[in-house]
């Protein structure tokens, strides 16, 4: 299976001269295109995201570590790259590769400081343009996300590289993206989202006014940290391997468990930490943090066929009946049939009925599978930061 490559994709948008290349999957399927950026073949799990906007946030989200991302939106790169929209704390792209239908020849946003192609080339990230991304997406939906390789070599060689690459099941990728040392964070989102900011989150207030939160950084996005500051918290982030003793030594008013990449069941050290923290401090987990909280409570997780990735994922709040349009990026899910007593389902995905929210009321803990910070994406779920703040304040009273 292949697509006809674009005739050429040079110039400012490409970053480097394009040459014929292809993406080959572990099942033997190949998709032709124009190769840019990297000097050798790149391997990773091939996934697709349905977001029409936010490619820079996707490329810098640490949850995409180890993955080659296919954008279903056909025209990518028109707003270029700027430092303010980078979501990784490191400031670097996190993906193993990018696949697009059409690469914009030049950015046209006043905020842009660099073209997408040049930025990826500078960081050594493989880019394949001119691909029939609709055909690739349909293939992944039918056959599931799987390993692939982008390069210019023979198809047989790329297929073999894809087959040799480690499978996502059982893979702990958190170690690649978690910080080595604790750090403080005090940046507000008001500069980027003046219409959202603290007032929309409720009482808000100055950082620290509503307590001190320790963030277990499993690969967090910067805008999540900003939202915690907007909610009035003083924020300290700690490495993924921090123990419960390490975290409690900060005497925090609450603990936040971030998003991150890989198989949650493989992050055993974080599961042990959360198990030891349950009931001791108010706890809020998102994405990987949601899955780890479930595992710490005694539930199981499993791999989805092709995952949920995009800014248009519908979720129902079972308590209110309200439907939220959410930003998501995950390939694993919590097994609802394995939830132990004391763990209540609060949100469900409307497309497939999978787990999107949990509550452990006796332990003062809750979690959601999606990204409530809206970077990029809708603002429907920002209220969750205020909910966490209320939980922390009740515990302090």
- Calculate ∠ Cα 355-358-362, nearest 5°: 155
Of 56, 57, 324, 373, which is the active-site residue? 373
Give yes or no: 24 in active site: no
Q: How far apart are CA 317 and CA 357, in angstroms?
A: 8
Of 45, 287, 308, 330, which is the active-site residue? 287
Q: Are 328 and 293 in contact (CB under 8 A)?
A: no
CA 223: distance to chain centroid? 12
Residue 95: count other Cβ atoms within 10 Å of its Cβ. 25
Give yes or no: 143 in active site: no
Q: Are 98 and 69 in contact (CB under 8 A)?
A: yes
Give yes or no: 102 in active site: no
Secondary structure in 3-state letters for the chain: CCCCCCCCCCCCCCCCCCEEEEEEECCCCEEEEEEECCCCCEEEEEEEECCCCCHHHHHHCHHHCCEEEEECCCEECCCCECHHHCCECCCCCCCCEEECCEECCCCCCCCCCECHHHHHHHCCCEEEECCCHHHHHHHHHHHCCEEEEEECCCHHHHHHHHHHCCCCCCCCCHHHHCCCCCEEECCCCCCCCCCCHHHHCCCCCCCCCCCEEEEECCCCEHHHHHHHHHCCCEEEEECCCCCHHHHHCCCCCEEEECCCCCCHHHCHHHHHHHHHHCCCCCEEEECHHHHHHHHHHCCCEEEEEEEEEEEEEEEEECCCCCEEEEEEEEEEEECHHHCCCCCEEEEEECCCCCEEEEEEHHHCEEEECCECCCCCCCCCCCHHHHHHHHHHHHHHC
Residues near 261 by beta carbon (within 8 Å), at least 6 away in sequence: 62, 63, 64, 65, 66, 67, 94, 173, 174, 176, 177, 219, 288
Which residues are known to be catalytic?
287, 371, 373
């Amino acid at each position: 299976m292949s697509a006809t490559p674009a005739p050429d994709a040079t110039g400012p948008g490409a970053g480097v001269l394009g040459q014929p290349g292809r993406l080959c999957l572990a099942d033997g399927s190949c998709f032709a295109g124009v190769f840019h950026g990297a000097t050798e073949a790149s391997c990773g799990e091939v996934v697709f995201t349905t977001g029409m906007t936010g490619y820079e946030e996707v490329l810098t989200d640490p949850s995409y570590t180890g993955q080659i991302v296919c954008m279903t939106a056909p025209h990518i790169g028109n707003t270029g790259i700027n430092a303010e929209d980078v979501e990784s704390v490191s400031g670097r792209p996190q993906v193993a590769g990018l696949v697009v239908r059409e690469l914009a020849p030049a950015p046209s946003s006043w905020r842009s400081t660099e073209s997408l192609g040049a930025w990826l080339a500078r960081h050594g990230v493989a880019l394949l343009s001119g691909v029939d991304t609709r055909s690739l997406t349909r293939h992944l939906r039918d056959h599931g996300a799987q390993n692939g390789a982008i390069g210019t070599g023979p198809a047989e060689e790329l297929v073999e590289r894809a087959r040799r690459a480690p499978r996502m099941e059982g893979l702990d990728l958190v170690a690649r993206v978690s910080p080595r040392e604790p750090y403080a964070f005090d940046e507000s989102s008001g500069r980027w989202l003046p219409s959202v900011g603290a007032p929309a989150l409720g009482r808000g207030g100055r950082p620290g006014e509503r307590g001190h939160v320790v963030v277990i950084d499993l690969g967090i996005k910067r805008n999540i940290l900003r939202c915690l500051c907007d909610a009035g918290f003083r924020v300290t982030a700690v490495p993924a391997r921090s123990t419960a003793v390490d975290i409690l030594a900060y005497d925090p008013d609450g603990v936040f468990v971030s998003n991150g990449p890989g198989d949650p069941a493989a992050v055993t050290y974080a599961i042990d930490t959360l198990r030891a923290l349950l009931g001791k401090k108010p706890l809020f987990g998102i994405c990987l943090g949601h899955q780890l909280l479930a595992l710490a409570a005694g539930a199981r997780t499993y791999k989805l066929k092709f995952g949920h990735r995009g800014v248009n994922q519908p979720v129902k709040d079972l308590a209110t009946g309200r439907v939220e349009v959410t930003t998501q990026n995950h390939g694993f899910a919590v097994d609802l049939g394995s939830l132990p007593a004391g763990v209540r389902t609060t949100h469900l995905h409307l497309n497939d009925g999978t787990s999107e929210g949990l509550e452990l009321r006796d332990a003062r803990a809750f979690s959601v599978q999606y990204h409530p910070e809206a970077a990029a994406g809708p603002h429907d779920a920002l209220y969750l930061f205020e909910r966490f703040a209320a939980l922390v304040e009740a515990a302090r009273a």
